[in-house]
Structure 1
Amino acid sequence: MQNDANVVPLNKAAAGQSQNSSMGRLPVALVNVRDKFAGQLKHAMQALFDNADDTLFEMADRSTSNGEQNTFFEAMRDLRLKRKGIERGFLQKFADNIASLNQYDVAKGAVLEPVSSDSLTLVQNDELEESVAMDTMVAKVMSRDATALAHLSTRLNTLVTRKVEDKTNPLGPRMLCEAFLEACQGLGVEIKVKLIILKLFEKYVLGDAGQLYAEANQVLVAHGVLPELKGTPVPRPQHRGVAARGVGQAEQAAVPASGFANAGSQEAFDVLQELLAQVRGSGAPRQAMPADALPITSNDLMRLLSHLQSNMPTQSLDELDVRQSLDQLLARVSNRSGRSRVVGQVDEDVINLVSMLFEFILDDRSLPDSLKALIGRMQIPMLKVAVLDKTFFSHGGHPARRLLNEIASAALGWGEQSDVQRDSLFQKIEQVMMRLLNDFTDDPAIFSELLEDFIVFTGAERRRSELLEQRIRDAEEGRMRAELARQEVERVLNQRMLGRTLPEVVVRLLEEAWSKVLLLNCLKHGTDSAEWRAALTTMDELIWSVEPHEEPESRMQLLVMVPRLLKSLREGLSSAAFDPFRTGEFFSRLEGLHVKAFQRFKQVEEVEPQQTAAPVAGDQSIVDDILLLDAPLVVPADDPAADALGMVAVVEEIVLASPEEPRTREPEEFLPDDDEALLQVDALRVGSWLEIRDRPDHKVRCKLAAIIKPSGRYIFVNRTGMKVLEKTRMALAVEFRRNAVRLLDDALLFDRALESVIGNLRRLKHT
């Protein structure tokens, strides 16, 4: 049966042939395009997943709740596990789409099914959001690279049997998006995470689509496929992964995915220029230009700014005036050239805008004064970025803007210190500034690098502080629960004992020992639990058992109760880990009390044998003593039971000792509920930063870490997560009322500065 191996099932052979033969029939030119495109897609997908981890980690770091943070962490884990499968699935789908171009469709008549209203369903919200995101991505690519894609589709139509249109082109954005979404079907992530991943796909895969189409067209032209098509884009030099490394000035304007370009960015700068033009000579300074003045180029301006940057004073911000320093340099240049040189109008507007932005930043009260000098050193580097790239004013995600915002956000909780050089945050910000001043010439990629490094630094600090904050919140909430439980135990003890005269041993047992059992049950089970009610019942029975009773039936009730009572007392004290030696002392004295009670009953009536013959099983030693009562009780003077016979009147409220340190008493002033200061306190949210003047000459910056609702206490921590302050709601309102508290604005610094500048320009326009 040597030939058995040559027998192949027809269905298997057909399947293999349908898959492989079609690939074999692809033209050589198309195979070359497929292989080149697939290789570049593979690198782009690797860049996507390499950056997805950092992006999701950053989103988790910025989350406002534990649930949201866990969502991003779970997504990171899921993406890591399924990364290889998604990459393989995407590339396989791409290859299958290419292979299908040379396959005939078996014609089938369209089957029209009856439509009823019952079969119509609404598109799921998640699917709708995916669809909208995909349409947006496709529209961006088509608006940017429509010509190159149209030429590619035209050339493919000369090579394959199927009709290729832009929307059915396997290399087109729609087919690529659909292939990626199909590969991601197994991801168990929420829609907001999937939209982030789609955004990364747009950035790292579709961002270079125009370059890929240009190269694919060049491959086909090299194989003689419609070389006469005019207007075929010439591929630009390779800049793969530029989103992480940065690009040159020209490419920033031309390639949105690789730089900082954004739709409508130039229009935004034009609006700012219009505002400046209408207020020149009033709010915005204007350089006087001689009639024969020759504007310098932006490149010359960059060189002058680099000179100022390298010679920036380090002592004080007052020594830095960019406008004045530029005028001095231009005067030197004019003297040497013999012709007046000035800054061009566009660059002049940029200088004025950046100058106004930093005037706001350096006057901002939310920034600590000692860090303003460091942040002020960013003025020239930021000015150079704005000269290079006008989208700086409109693109919120610009790395230079994000770096400034991140530094300002981290500095929000920085307090004034005597030895700033030992503070890690101060050193890190200083390090960032020195890198900018020493290394930044004309490549904005350094901002992305410094931003990533600074986010890693602040992320590590934030995680440490959040861990401490959570511990403080847990401790404060636990302390409050213990305080409320202690107050409840005090209440039930005073309710049952205050005003009564009881044996001293019972008072001590309840106050020193049984209170711990009550406290434990209250904390573990609550006051509505069976355990709490059982502990109260035991306490009530103990008090009843040592009180005088004259009724004949009380003797039998006591005889039945005592063994069960002693058992409950032992079990309760044992569960609360009460000192066993003190437990033994208490029980020895209780024995004397109960024997004394039965002695008193014996003096009233004779004990009938049938009444004492059936006690409930319990503490047998006490029962035996009770049954042998034929003579008056005689207690030796040195016996511990002798002290137990003493009675004490409970005339003062019982106050249980607290293991916590006593809280400092705050002078309480009562304000009406509609008082503005109280409304300010009620508007505070956990995470708000405040500056509080705790002494006439000292201020502390702190964050609201927790609001303990039952007690109305506000817990504040510093930047490192350590507790620094605790205030009641009313005391904090009093501080607001006397202007000792100032709420710090934690909104993005650059955005606030830009809004302020635009508002000022509009006001000047109407004056």
Structure 2
Amino acid sequence: MTQTQPDNSLKTQMIQQGREALLDTLTEYFREQGFIHDETLEALRRGAADSHDELLGIKDRRGFEAARGLTASRISLVREEDLEFTIRLTDLARHLRERCEGVLAKLHLRYMSLLDQSDASQEQLPIGVETVCCAVRALSDEAGLSSDERLSLVERIEPTLGHRLLMLYNKLNQVMESAGVETKSLVRNDPPAARGVASESGGLDQVPQRQAAGPVAELQRALMSRQAVPAPNAVTLDPSLAAAVRDRVLGWLSEQQQSAGDISQRLGSTELGPLLAPANKAALDTIERVFENLLAHPRLPTSGKGAIARLRVPLLKLAITDPALISDRAHPARRLLDAMCGLCVGLGPDTPPDHAITRALNETAGNIQRNFDRDVSVFATELPRIEAIASVRLAGVRDRAQQYVEAANRVEREETAARLASKALRAMESDTLPTPVRAFLENHWQAALQEILLSHGDKGSEWRNGLMVADRLIWSVQPKQTPEERNQLLKLLPELLRRMQRGLERSGLEGDAQQAALAPCMALHTAAMQGRVLPAASQPYPGPTNELRLNGLGEVSGLRVLSVHGFISRDPEVPELVSKITEGQWLEIELPDGRRVRGCVGWIAPSRQVMVLVDPDRQGVLAVTLRALVQQAQAGNVRQLAESSLFDQAAQAALRSLRGG
């Protein structure tokens, strides 16, 4: 069916009318709730208007996904209470959407027609409940409500705000219908993709389909192959009895789900096992093995395991009723489980049960446990809430990291100066350079050159003079065979020594430590003056002294820097683990004292020489240089905590165990 598109004048009129109607409705409603100050109500209108206009500019679902979590993204996560408020706002949006479900869906289709959208989420509706929640956030900020007052406000308005919005949406539907704005038809002409459908007997209808990919599907195939040849005494059931067994298993699982019972053994090993159809038995065994490995996964903290475990029985039911759970990585239940596991990854082992994220995970698992029967949309309904919490958490990490970008840039400049100073000295050294001079240049003079670069750059006379000191030092220790050469050295040495001392002072080396650094070179000078060659060193040169350090950064409070100090013999070979790190990933790094810290990457320098990690719970911030990260990664002291789906990882572990690997 061909739909006519509204003309531009009607489009503009309807959009403006809807916008003003929503703003006026919210203003009137919150004035009735006791918010009477003009500044507060103006902030409410501004928050709603900004959200409306932002959503209006997003064309399709892909654009919305890129900008998802509108409410969440505007919150700077400085305190745990901010996260709690956002969770409550996300719940409010879900409850309001459920309250207005029918009329809101129709209004959404009219807006899709109005905006000529072919693929848009209901959450993109400019006058929808997401915009309402942004307005509540703006009002709370302007009114200066405390954390408890914000939570109390959400609880107070939820019952009555839904009714007011329902009246508004009904009215706007009538206005748009009268104006000739049709609902968007979502009927597609392309045939649906073929996929297997669970039959009553528990097998798959013979619909052509490509073989599912991924470790979960591979695990199921491996388990199926073990059933390929029936045992001589295998029980054969007719389809009606097989369907009855399947329904009995589903009923028993539902009883366990509602009573929150714990299944202590695999269903396949019970008396029902031999009666289950092969496909059902393999599917159940697949999910059971995945959960066993998932709950034993070292990167899943104890504080999150309880919520994850409560999803086991619902997914066992899905394994029987929905084959896509095994074959489709984008299945809503798997997406929800992975999103919940992703939130768990950032929690420390000592996270208390009343942590905002732990509570949210338990509430989500409880909703699934209470509401899921066979309709997979229950999982899809819970997913936005978990994704919004993840968005808030990441937004807080980035906000916190941004506070230290200037300091991190300073660390990056120090790294760049160290690389340039080391490179310049490497170009001047030769294989015949005496060990004491090489040790001095690499362990001491490189630091002096680094300070010159940081203070004056590489264009001025200071840098040229620093390089000249290194060049003359190398010449000065070579044997002097003629009186003329020895006289020249005699004239050079006082000024050379003075400049060496000044450079060492610039790098912080003074007193006895300075004399100890200079003494080996002075011994060579004496030998050169006498025209003799010192005997070769008894031990080969061990190389420059490099030290992994964890320090503060002067006056910058709250920031620690993990870096490697010392000469750079060659540019580091960056392991793949390090080269693929992106913002938003969680890392665990061992510090020099053996402690391990975990944090989310909130900022990476354009040169990738420095990145900033944030622990959003403890508010700790760690700047890590590339050299330090490479050194620790090569020593096995860096781990990515969530580089891939934990559900898939658990399936891979089950596969290895099954194959004896």
TM-score (norm 2): 0.45
Higher relative contact order (Cα pairs below 8 Å, separated by 6+ residues): 2
Q: Structure 1 length normalisation: TM-score?
A: 0.39
Q: Which has the larger radius of gyration?
A: 1
